[in-house]
Amino acid sequence: MDSVRPKRLKKRQTGRVGAVEAEFFNGLLEDVLGYEQLIADEQPLDWPQFDENAGAVLCYTSGTTGDPKGVLYSHRSVVLHAMAAGLSGAFGLSAFDCIMPCSSLYHGTAWGIPFAAAINGCKFVLPCDKMDGASLQELIKTEGVTLSGGVPTIWTMYLAHLERSGEDSGSLARLVIGGSAVPRAMAETFQTKYGVAVCQLWGMTETSPLGVVATPTPKLAERGQQATNDTIWTRQGRLQFGIELKIVDEEGRELPCDGVSSGSLKVRGPWTVERYYRSEVSALDEDGWFDTGDIATLDADGFMRITDRSKDVIKSGGEWVSSIDIENVAAACPGVKVAAVVGVFHPKWEERPVLVIEPHVDAKVTVDTILAHLEPNIVKWWMPDAVIFDAVPLTATGKIDKKVLRERYRNHLVENQPSAVNQ
């Protein structure tokens, strides 16, 4: 290697590198085997037998609001979860589907899609680390992808590619989107412009991870397509087989399923965490319920809507402000790529919302256009005290990292006038 490197550098300086580099890399690859060649002479693996309650997969929470914690899935919970995930009221999988998961395998086993796909005999396509819009489009068209799932940031990039290229979405028929709330504008664009049905889902590493999926019901269909869209685009999902949900107030009293009353969301089921990895302390209450840390509502049709994370809720002058609702409205403003809202210290109101906007490249977005877009769509006292244009930090799973944002801007309203804006 050392004897070759000076020769390559010398050729690089003269601009004549093609033949030399080709020779160099061909030499390195002489003894490299393809995967099929590697396994051609091997015997089938004699699979060991495990107890169904033995550990199968260890996943860690994404740590958006605290330190990551390990959750060890058993073989039994993985299989039960996969069977439920493939049902018609969830992902609705069949052998005619080609599935392309765009959530990382370490992120709650890519939402359990690999196991659900295998059980239902689906074709499976892996995008690996190529999550840009052009690469996803190539896979969709060449492999006939019918269903995919991922966080909103991935589909923002994909839609931007379709807009630039003028292409259609090919065979893609359904998208399940989770990790954070789906901007309504995104769902409408997929549905009306490209004919791709979008539904949200909600889950956690602690629920293996599927909790609810926003799929339609006959009762919704009777109310018409608009009512159906209004529900499945604005709610995280409905009750699924195997999972129980309830919301409780600060005293632990169960709240009614009226779609209005909000409280702490609790979940119980056969694939819900019992305790965190290497912890002897139960993660459940005395009745087996796990506190998700989410604030939510439940309606009479069994649909759940997340209004915020308990650690992300902004309490301003004693009143609650939903960061998720502001983000959803801001994300629909033309030119906005990602919108994030965090609560920061305010000397009078204790806490006030600050809106961080990451615009699309070359987009002409101003503070005035953002505020004008927000004004008719949110209550007046929810209006952010500052609109900041900056890159929005994401976790390894593509979620907005609000820990970083809170730390970055915690003194912003003290160091600047409440109406100040950094551009």
Any idea which residues carry the catalytic annotation?
A: 61, 206, 315, 320
Rounded CA-CA distance 414/417 in Å is 7
Tokens of 298: 């439940």
Rounded CA-CA distance 355/372 in Å is 14
How many of the other CB atoms lie within 10 Å of CB of 57?
18
Q: Which of 177, 45, 38 is nearest to 111 (CA)?
A: 177
Q: What is the 3-state secondary structure (H, E, C) of the chain?
A: CCCCHHHHHHHHHHCCCHHHHHHHHHHHCCCCCCHHHHHCCCCCCCCCCCCCCCEEEEEECCCCCCCCCEEEEEHHHHHHHHHHHCCCCCCCCCCCCEEEECCCCCCHHHHCHHHHHHHCCCEECCCCCCCCHHHHHHHHHHHCCCEEEECHHHHHHHHHHHHHHCCCCCCCCEEEECCCCCCHHHHHHHHHHHCCEEEEEEECHHHCCEEEECCCCHHHHHCCHHHHHHHHCCCCEECCCCCEEEEECCCCCECCCCCCCCEEEEEECCCCCCCCCCCCCCCECCCCCEEEEEEEEECCCCEEEEEEECCCCEEECCEEECHHHHHHHHHCCCCEEEEEEEEEEECCCEEEEEEEEEECCCCCCCHHHHHHHHCCCCCHHHCCCEEEECCCCECCCCCECHHHHHHHCCCHHHHCCCCCCCC
